[in-house]
């Protein structure tokens, strides 16, 4: 019997359920001057729609369904849910 030495995190790949961004009511907007790029939002995003490019956190709105989990878990309150226009 062998011991698994890796830590596995179950996380869907981006778009595993298709593009979901068209039906959201609210969208998350990152306040770049407040965000410290801790990536807690990335860890909790059920759609895998959050990524980091350099020092900047980005949201892929084609896959973001606007659930607001990212905003809820952000300790810095750097993500605001804004009514979709």
Domain ranges in the chain are 21-83
Contacts of 36 (CB under 8 A, 6+ apart): 76, 78
Query: Does residue 53 have a pLDDT over 90?
Result: yes
Task: Tell me the C-alpha distance between 52 and 56, whole Å.
Answer: 6
Confidence of residue 25 (pLDDT cuts 50, 70, 90): very high
Report the share of the chain in percent with pLDDT over 70: 79
Token code pair at residue 74? 């952000």
The whole-model pTM stands at: 0.77
Overall average pLDDT of the 55-80 stretch: 96
Query: Does residue 12 have a pLDDT over 60?
Result: no
pLDDT at 78: 98
What is 21-83's CATH topology?
Answer: Alpha-Beta Plaits (3.30.70)
């Amino acid at each position: 019997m062998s011991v698994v030495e890796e830590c596995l995190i179950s996380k869907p790949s981006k778009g595993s359920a298709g593009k979901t961004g068209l039906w959201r009511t609210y969208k998350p907007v990152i306040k770049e001057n407040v965000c410290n790029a801790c990536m807690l939002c990335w860890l909790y995003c059920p759609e895998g729609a959050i990524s980091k490019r350099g020092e900047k956190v980005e949201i892929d709105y084609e896959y973001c369904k606007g659930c607001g989990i990212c905003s809820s878990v952000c300790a810095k309150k750097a993500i605001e849910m804004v009514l979709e226009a």
